[in-house]
Amino acid sequence: MLNKRFSLSKENSNLVPDGLQQSPLCHKFDTFLPQVKPAHPLNSCEHDHLHHKILNDLAPLAADLGLRFARTLKRYDYAQAHQELIDIHKSLRIEDLNLCDGTQELKLKARAYAARCRLTRQQFKNPEQAYQQCVQLAKRYQLTSPSIKQGDLIAALNRLCCERWWFRKIKVLRLRSIEAVARNIELVSRASSEYASQHAIKLNKQQKIQNRIYLSSTRITNERGESYTLQDLADRSVSNPTVRRAELMVRIRGFEVVAKLLDHVGEFYTLTTPSRMHACLKRGVNNPKYDKTTPRQAQDYLTHLWALMRSELHRQGISLYGFRVVEPHHDGTPHWHLMLFMPEEHKTVVRQIMQHYAFLENPDEPGAKDHRFKALSIDPNKGTAAGYIAKYIAKNIDGYGLNQTPDDKTATEAAERITTWANTWGIRQFQQIGGPSVSVWRQLRRLDKAEDEELEQARKAATASDWAAFMLAMGGIQISKKNHPIKPYYAYGWHLDQATGEITQTTKNRYLEPSRQRIVGVTSKGIAYDSRKHFWTVGENPDYSPKNLLAELSALSEAPTLIRSSKRAAGSALNASLPRRLRARHSTPRGGNRAGGVPVVNQQQINLSSGVGDCVRGEACGDSAQPPAPLDLDLDLYQ
């Protein structure tokens, strides 16, 4: 009987010597055929040296790669285990860029690449030629080059010459590449680590502490002398999980109230991806159908399906309103939950349209009919619409009000893993469908009493946290956004000169391109209402002493250098899992900090300035004459 699991792959078919060709209908373990042992291009000693060189390069993953090598060797054969290790090394070692290096090493690489672009800019007098050369450099390291906006080539070139731009891109590439490898080698599953790998979780915790250090050590003061730390303001905004969850529930409840007034019905849909996008099966082993699709690509697939559904609904004159929640399966593959309201006569048509597009790809594969698309009518006798989706809101934010999950992980830990997953892959967890702008809602809550009666009615509803009344004040659910009576007001940021009293607008960013206007108020009947009331200056927090800073940094003493636990555990796990002839001493150099460990911070190195034109021509971004700071707390580097 044939056994495909042990058949040689096409990539390894050249390992069989000429003259001993094997029938494609039989595999290499058939006893009635001459046994042919693959001839490896390297001898055993060279293989041993290569394997340990790879594990040294990929030190943060060394323990798990060793276990994976032994597991693949047991399941399949040596050739596949060897090739998988080579492929992982190629994906994480891009020429001279090692994505497993620590944060400081990556900053040095970013500075070197930016300097190379500045040198190229000086060599090529034609900006277009210089831009093309710099784009090629970015492509070599698998980075997306900045696009040319409105024909402004200089701004795009300035970005390529900026080490901040390079570091942000490299940091995202590092996190997602390592997480993709973790999913491929069964490190993200119900059997190991749900939703996100331990490496990503540790990095996310470290990032949160770094952000909190910056926010707590920075104070803003207005012209009246009122002063707050950035952390105080963040705790009062939707950045606070509690505030974010409360606002979402208020908006969902408002949709439900309006639906009752209009005699609309609620539907709860679940939309998942084809099996080829799932990395692992339920028991935690690799899915044989998996095609290396990342969660980001799977999210793009679902977004495309939803665009097709909405287009068809629009052609048939059907408008929906509600919310969409994205959450991961145990292996990190996203799926959608949608709570939508509509007239009852549209319910059947909406189900047919969504089901049609959900089954466009592989509709007959096993499990598709049971899992690809689910529809559930919301029964008011069993519970409210807000109650249907409240569990998913809490589960994906902070786990508030939920009991322990079936696998004995607390709801808070599960929520932390899910937020880590969303941050890693850049996936928007919650999205409102239909209804008025939430930006207008937030700006109205900042305004004082208005003389305009229509504006005042919407402002009172927003201030009272009544989303249903706010929707009615904005014209109801059927009106399009372009016809809303109140719209967001966009303007440039402003700056007050304390000495002269002159107010200036920030119309250019650091790359000398027009700054993006941001929402600063609302407009109604052609009149702009600016919600900004004060001029703020940024400075250091005198109450935040270096002792407090170092106390918070002490939590970072154990850098996420290994997915398992420590370097010693990595070496022991590696030697215990590998075949005897592959066992050797494996360690990281003493004092090494290969996965972003945080040394002691000098408070004088915290730079809060962000001047314009730091990256123009041959100038470096920031103070390049100084050595890199042990820890850069500038938020621009961590967004």
Phi, psi of 26 (to 5 degrees): -125, 150
Structure letter (DSSP) for residue 428: -
**Got the DSSP string for 101-149?**
S-HHHHHHHHHHHHHHHHHHHHH-SSHHHHHHHHHHHHHHTT-PPPP-B
Rounded to an integer, what is the distance from CA 134 to the centroid of its chain? 26
Q: Which tokens sit at 486?
A: 């109140």
| CA distance linking residue 233 with residue 240, whole number of Å | 10
Identify whether 392 is a catalytic site residue. yes
Contact call for residues 410 and 404 (beta carbons, < 8 A)? yes
H, E, C per residue of 312-326: HHHHCCCCCEEEEEE
Contacts of 312 (CB under 8 A, 6+ apart): 353, 357
Helix ranges, 295-359 (H): 295-315, 347-358
Q: Distance (Å, rounded) from C-alpha 57 to C-alpha 588?
A: 9
Question: Beta strands 486-491 and 334-342: pairing type?
Answer: unpaired
Query: Could you tell me how far CA 422 lies from the centroid of its own chain?
Result: 5
Identify the DSSP state of 630: S
154, 623 Cβ separation under 8 angstroms: no
Q: In which residue are the tokens 């200036």 written?
A: 504
Among the listed residues 321, 392, 529, 544, the single catalytic one is 392
Q: Compute the radius of gyration of the chain from its Cα atoms.
A: 28
Catalytic residue among 195, 214, 290, 388: 388
What residues are labeled active site? Answer: 388, 392
